[in-house]
Structure 1
Amino acid sequence: MRDKRTSKAAVSVEHVVLGRAVRELRARRDLSQERLGFHSGLHRNYVGAIERGEINPTFRTLLTLSSGLVVPLSELVRLYERRRVDHIPAEVAR
């Protein structure tokens, strides 16, 4: 899957949906990527790559992101699961 705005390919639809969940939680807390990176101990460019679905973050990275967002990891996963339903093709959902 290639994003038309960038030259980098997304890892998978699941990673794009995860990135959107991270972006939504970050926006709810009114944090910039730079600020989230600071609170998480991650570089802002890395946070951006996660949000765009360009990389496959490790479990440890997801834990540090949830810590920086001040939410339990389960909330990030719950939001991912809700958003993922929106991306299931109609023929698969039946």
Structure 2
Amino acid sequence: MLSSSRNANHAVKTHELPDENLADLLPIAKKIAIAIGAENYNILQNNGRIAHQVVDHVHFHVIPKPAATDEEGLVIGWPTKSPPQDELKALHAELLEKLQQ
């Protein structure tokens, strides 16, 4: 588990953490992945109980995936959707507009 040590405000969710704190975390996660020799891995971060957050502070997990099986590492499964392209384009435009605000 990787946690922000400069998180004086004790952010529970990622959107509550100042950008300057977030900027430090992924380079550290990268170094951890290299240090443990993980060729294949997931970097996981959960926000909220229904999103499987158990510890009430922003943190990341570096999870090695040593084999292409469900026996080791993170196992991911969720229902996939194939929305129509026009819906995706509309969502894209909406997100771009919100990001520019």
Q: TM-score if structure 1 supplies the norm length?
A: 0.24
Higher strand proportion:
2
Q: TM-score if structure 2 supplies the norm length?
A: 0.23
Higher helix proportion:
1
